[in-house]
Amino acid sequence: MSEKLEAYYGLPSKVRFCKKCTISNQRPNSTIEFKNEKNEKKQVINFNEDGVCSACVFHEEKEIGIDWEQRDKNLKTLLTQFKSNDGSYDVIVPGSGGKDSAYTAHILKYKYGMNPLTVTWSPHIYTDVGWKNMQEWMHTGGLDNILYTPNGKLHGEMTKNAFHNLLHPFQPFIVGQRIIGPAMAKKFGVKLVMYGENQAEYGNAIEENINPIMNMDFFSSDDALSMKFGSVSMQEYIDSGNYTKDDFAPYIPPNKQDLIDAGVEVHYLGYYLKWDPQECYYYAVDNTGFQANPVRTEGTYSKYSSIDDKVDPFHYLTTLIKFGIGRCTYDSAQEVRNDKITRDEAAYLIKKYDTEFPHIYFKEFLEYIGATEDEFWKTIDKHRSPHIWKEVNGEWKLRHTVSKDGTDD
Amino acid sequence: MNKIRLIARLDIKNEFVIKSIHLEGLRKVGNPNQLAKKYYEEGIDEIIFMDAVAAYYDRNSLSEIIQKACKDVFIPITVGGGIRNIKDIQQALNSGADKVAINTQAINNPQFIQEASKIFGSQCIVSSIEAKKISDGKWEAYIENGREPTGLDVLEWARKVKELGAGEIMLTSIDREGTKKGFDLELNQMVANAVSIPIISSGGIKNSDDAILLLKNSCIDAIATASTLHYNLEEIQDFKQNLANNGVKVRL
Amino acid sequence: MKIVIVDYDLGNVRSILNAFEQIGISPILSRDKDDILNADGLILPGVGAFSHGMKNLHKYSLVEVLKDYAKTGKVLLGICLGMQMLLDESEEFGNTQGIGLIHGKVIKLPTKDKNNEKLPHICWNEIEPKHQNWNDTILNSIPLKSDMYFVHSYIAEPKDDTNILSTTVYSDYRFCSSLKQGNVYGCQFHPEKSAKIGLEIIKNFVNIAKEGKSV
C-alpha cells in the first residue's frame, strides 16, 4: 500500500533526479524574495521529457549551441557603450570577493579595460578566509570596493524571523544583495551593473537565458511597506515600535521607473563569457590573491565555493531540510555539468557529505538568531516535508536519494 | 652534496592528469601515460602518480595507469593516494611502482608505516605530509588530500615517521601548492633540519629559480614539480642546466 | 634465448620484465630448478631486507640451485639486494648468511651523519671503473661517470677487490657499486630504473648471455 504523502510548499509529490546531474525536481527557482511568503507554492526546476533538468539542457547548449566568439564581440560592443573616459566608474560589480565576483571584476578591469567599482553587501558574519579574500581582492587584485553593512540589529531580527517562519535564513540577505547593484549604480551615476553568474546555470526558466537583462521585478518594489522580511512586513516591524522606516533604507529598492529613466542596465557576464565556476577559482587564485577554505567545507567535498559567511552552512542545511537538497548536491551537480566529476562520483560524494551537520559555526549561528538549540531543532523538524523525510527509529532519513538508497527507493 | 632529483608529480583523476591549487580543483591538463613518457624522455629523474580523488572515493585506482607507465618509463615510480593497507601496497608494487606514498592511513594508524616498512623495506615507503601554516613557525598536518586538519604538528610528525621506518618524506605545502609563488622556505628548512631521511619538496614551484632559492636555504634532496611541467613553464633540460649553472649537482 | 628472473616473492620484477621487453626479450619468472639451470642468463632481483631475502631463497630451496647455476659459467646478474645476497654474509639485523658466491660482507653504508648525508641513499649517482675498463662486461660502452639510480642503505664489500667493477661515492665514502667474478655480476643500482643508460646495461647482459661464455 503506498501512502499519499503530503508535499509541503506545493513541491512535486514525486521526487525525481535529473538523469544527467544530481539535482532533484524539488529544487526551487529564484523568487522575488521580498514577496516570499510562508507556505507559498514554490516554482521548481523544470525537467524535460527525457528526465533531464533545465540546467543540464542549458549547459549542453552552452557547449555546442553558442558562438562564444560572437558573444565576446557582443560584450565588447556592450562595454563600449558604457566605458567612461574621464576616470569615473563605469560598471558596478556586486560581490563579496568570492571566486565569481573576483573573476568578474578583475577581468572587466584588466582584460576589457573597464573601471569597475565593486560593491559588497556584507555577509552576516565574515569567516576568516572570507574576510582575507575580500581584502586580497582589493590589495592583490587591484580593485576599488565599497562594503555596505546593514544595521545588525534589524538584519539579525529579520534573519531570525526568516529562519523560523520560512526556514530560509538568507531571505533578508538576498533582498539586500539583489538591490545593492542597481542602488549603487544609481547613487554613483553608473549605468551598467554586471553580475557574474547567470541564474539559468542553475535551472531557472529557460526563456530567461535568451534575454540577458535580469527581470526588473527582482529588485524593484513600488510599495516598500508591504515588503516582507522573514514573512513579516516592513509595516509590522515598524508597528512593533523597535524600528522606523529609516532602518529599512538598505532594503528599499530604487524606484523602477527611476532606474529605467537613468538608463541603468543589469547584465550577467555569464551570458558573454563561458562560465565555469571552478575555473573562476583558478583565476581568482592567480589574480586576486584568493585562497580556498583551509578545510573541507562542511556539507560538501569542496573548498572553493561560498566560503565567506558563517551563516552560509545553515542556508544549505535548510535547503536540505525543505527540499532534500544539501550543499554537496548543489556543488556536485555543477561539477557534473562542467565535466569535473561523473554522476556516479557525485552520487558517492552526496552520500558521504550531503547530510553532514555544520558544527563549526553552529554556536555562533544560534547566537546570531537568538535561538536555543531546542528552538532550532523544533523549527527544523517542523519544515521537513513528509514526502521527502521519514522518521526511522528516532532518526530522520531521506525517502529518496540519487544513489537510490533512500527509505522508499 | 648529492645530485638533486627532479621529480614530476602527476595528480590523477580517472584518466586525466589534473592540476589543483591548494589541493583543490580538478582542472584537466593531460593524459597520464603520455605525460609520464614525455617527461621521462626529456630527462626527469622520477615520477610520482598521486590519485587526487582517492580521499573522495575511498580507493586507489591507479593500477592500470601504473602498469602502462612501467612499459614506457624506466625510472622510479611512486604511487600515492588511497593507500590504506598492506594489500594496497602489494598491488601498487605488483603494478610496477617502486615506492608508495602514504598519508591519511599513516596518521590514522601510525603503526601502518612501521608494518609496511618491515615488510617492503624503508626505501619503498614514502611518508606524504600535507602541511598548512597555522601560526608563526607552526604547521599543521592535513589528511584526505588537504581537506581535514588533524591537530598534529608537522615537525613532530616528521620526526615520528622517521622513527617508524619511512624511507623518505614528501612534504607538500598546501598554502603554496599550485600557486607558482615559490616554495614555503621556512617549512622546508624546519623539516630538513630536523630529520635525517631524504626529503622531497612539493608545492609552489614555478621554475628552476624557485628550486635554486630552496636549495640555497635547506638540505632538500628532491624537488617535485607539477605546474612547471604541465603548464610548460620551463623545459626539463633548461631547468637542470640552470641548476647546474648555479652550483647544484644534477643528473644531466 | 632463455632469460630467467628468479621468483622468490621479492623485488620489483615487473620493472625488470618491462625493461627486457623494451629491448625485445621476454624473460620468464620462475623458481623452478630446471628453468633456472637451463637459462642462458639469470637475474636475481631484490628489494628489502637481506634476512627476508635469504629466508625466501631458503624457503624455495634456491640457494644450492643458484650455486649450481653459477658453476655452469653462464651469466648471472644480482640487482640491489640480489647483488648483496651473492656475498658471504650481511650485518643487517644481526649476522645473516648469504649465498656465498663472492667472498665478502654486506655492511651499512657509513655516513658522516651530517644533514645532507641521509640514509637510505636514494639518489642518482656516478659509477666509475675500479681497475679495468668495462669492455665485454655488462658495463660495456657505458660512459664513465654515468648516473645510475641507487636506493639502499647497505653495501657489499668484496674481500677481493679485483671483483669490484665500479665504485661510487656517497658521504665521502667510496663503495662498490657493481661487481664481477667471472660470469657472476652484481649491480647495487637498478639498471631497470636508470633510464636509457640502464637499458644499455640490460642489453649488454643479453649479449653476454647470447655468447654463453664467461670472460
pLDDT in tens, B148-167: 999 999 999 999 999 999 99
Please indicate whether, in this complex, the C-beta atoms of A296 and B178 are within 8 angstroms of each other: no
Of the two residues C188 and C1, the one the predictor is more confident about is C188
Neighbours of A407 (CB within 10 A): 13
The residue whose grid cell reads 587591484 is A142
Mutate to test the interface with C, among B63, B75, B199, B219 (most CBs of C within 10 A): B75
User: Chain C closest CA to B152's CA: distance in Å?
Assistant: 24
Which SS3 state, helix, strand or coil, does residue A210 take?
helix
Which SS3 state, helix, strand or coil, does residue C104 take?
strand
Judged by 3 or more CB pairs under 8 A, whether B touches A is yes
Give the mean pLDDT of A337-345.
93
Please indicate whether, in this complex, the C-beta atoms of C15 and B98 are within 8 angstroms of each other: yes
The pLDDT value given to residue B55: 79
**pLDDT above 90: residue A255:** no
**pLDDT above 60: residue A206:** no
From chain A, the residues in CB contact with B57 under 8 A are: 345, 348
From chain B, the residues in CB contact with C151 under 8 A are: 76, 98, 123, 167
Residue C100: CA count within 13 A, CB half-sphere: 8
pLDDT category of residue B179 using cuts at 50, 70 and 90: very high
Beta pairing, strands A91-94 & A116-121: parallel
Between A299-308, B117-126, C77-86, the lowest mean confidence (pLDDT) is in: B117-126
From chain A, the residues in CB contact with B22 under 8 A are: 285, 291-292, 303
Nearest CA to C79 out of C133, C11, C138 is that of C11
Q: Which of B46, B130, B140, B210 is catalytic?
A: B130
Q: How many whole angstroms separate alpha carbon C124 and alpha carbon C208?
A: 26
- Residues of B with a Cβ under 8 Å from any C Cβ are 1-3, 5, 40, 43, 45, 67, 70-71, 74-76, 93-98, 118-124, 167-168, 192-193, 196-198, 219, 221-222, 251
**Which residue(s) pair with C121 in the sheet?**
C152
Which distant-in-sequence residues (6+ apart) come within 8 Å of A309 by Cβ?
A96, A123, A124, A125, A126, A127, A130
Between A55-59, B77-81, C101-105, the lowest mean confidence (pLDDT) is in: A55-59
Of the two residues A297 and A1, the one the predictor is more confident about is A297
From chain A, the residues in CB contact with B179 under 8 A are: 285-286
B residues 170-189 near A, CB within 8 Å? Answer: 174-175, 178-179
pLDDT category of residue B119 using cuts at 50, 70 and 90: confident
A86 and A364 in contact (C-beta within 8 Å)?
A: no
pLDDT category of residue A277 using cuts at 50, 70 and 90: very high
Report the residue from B45, B96, B118 with minimal CB separation from C15.
B96
Average pLDDT, chain C: 92
- The helix-helix angle for C13-22 and C195-211 (nearest 10°) equals 80
The amino acid present at A123, given as its one-letter code, is: P
From chain C, the residues in CB contact with B192 under 8 A are: 115
Size of interface A-B (CB pairs under 8 A): 50
- pLDDT digit string, tens, across residues C63-100: 999 999 999 999 999 999 999 999 999 998 778 999 99
**pLDDT above 70: residue A290:** yes
The CA-atom distances, in angstroms, between B193 and each of B197, B225, B250, C116 are: 10, 22, 22, 9
Q: Which of C80, C121, C152, C187 is catalytic?
A: C80
- Is C157 a residue of the active site? no
pLDDT category of residue A221 using cuts at 50, 70 and 90: low
From chain B, the residues in CB contact with A285 under 8 A are: 21-22, 178-179
Coarse DSSP helix, strand, coil percentages of chain A, rounded to the nearest 5 percent: 45, 10, 45
**pLDDT above 80: residue A287:** yes
List the single residue in C with minimal CA-CA distance to B77.
C193
- Residues of C with a Cβ under 8 Å from any B Cβ are 12, 14-15, 18-19, 21-22, 47-49, 113, 115-116, 118-120, 122-125, 147, 149, 151-153, 170, 190, 192-196, 198-199
- pLDDT digit string, tens, across residues C51-65: 889 999 999 999 999
From chain B, the residues in CB contact with C118 under 8 A are: 196-198, 221
C39 and C27 in contact (C-beta within 8 Å)?
A: no
Report the residue from B5, B71, B219 with minimal CB separation from C124.
B5
A245 and A234 in contact (C-beta within 8 Å)?
A: yes
From chain A, the residues in CB contact with B149 under 8 A are: 294-295
pLDDT category of residue A1 using cuts at 50, 70 and 90: very low
Average pLDDT, chain B: 94
Domains of chain C: 3-211 (3.40.50.880)
User: What subunits make at least 3 CB pairs under 8 angstroms with A?
Assistant: B
User: What subunits make at least 3 CB pairs under 8 angstroms with B?
Assistant: A, C
Grid cell for residue B206: 614555478
The pLDDT value given to residue B58: 78
Which distant-in-sequence residues (6+ apart) come within 8 Å of C64 by Cβ?
none
Q: How many whole angstroms separate alpha carbon A18 and alpha carbon B249?
A: 57
- Is C187 a residue of the active site? no
List the single residue in B with minimal CA-CA distance to A297.
B147
Q: How many whole angstroms separate alpha carbon C137 and alpha carbon C135?
A: 5
Q: How many whole angstroms separate alpha carbon B93 and alpha carbon B107?
A: 22
C176 and C157 in contact (C-beta within 8 Å)?
A: yes
Tell me the Cα Rg of chain C.
Answer: 16
B224 and B230 in contact (C-beta within 8 Å)?
A: no
Grid cell for residue B132: 598548512
Please indicate whether, in this complex, the C-beta atoms of B74 and C14 are within 8 angstroms of each other: no
Grid cell for residue C54: 635469504
Element of type H or E holding B27: strand B24-30
pLDDT category of residue A306 using cuts at 50, 70 and 90: very high
Judged by 3 or more CB pairs under 8 A, whether C touches A is no
Which SS3 state, helix, strand or coil, does residue C192 take?
helix
Give the mean pLDDT of A307-322.
96
The pLDDT value given to residue A179: 87
From chain B, the residues in CB contact with A345 under 8 A are: 53, 56-57
Report the residue from B25, B132, B149 with minimal CB separation from A282.
B25
**pLDDT above 70: residue C215:** no
Give the mean pLDDT of A215-225.
67
Report the residue from B5, B120, B219 with minimal CB separation from C116.
B219
- Is B186 a residue of the active site? no
pLDDT category of residue A39 using cuts at 50, 70 and 90: low
Report the residue from A303, A341, A345 with minimal CB separation from B22.
A303
Give the mean pLDDT of A128-137.
96
**pLDDT above 70: residue A60:** yes
Element of type H or E holding C140: none
Neighbours of A60 (CB within 10 A): 13
Report the residue from C18, C147, C193 with minimal CB separation from B98.
C193
Between A144-153, C48-57, C143-152, C162-171, the lowest mean confidence (pLDDT) is in: C48-57
Report the residue from A279, A286, A295 with minimal CB separation from B148.
A295
Q: How many whole angstroms separate alpha carbon A199 and alpha carbon A209?
A: 8
Average pLDDT, chain A: 90
**pLDDT above 50: residue C214:** no
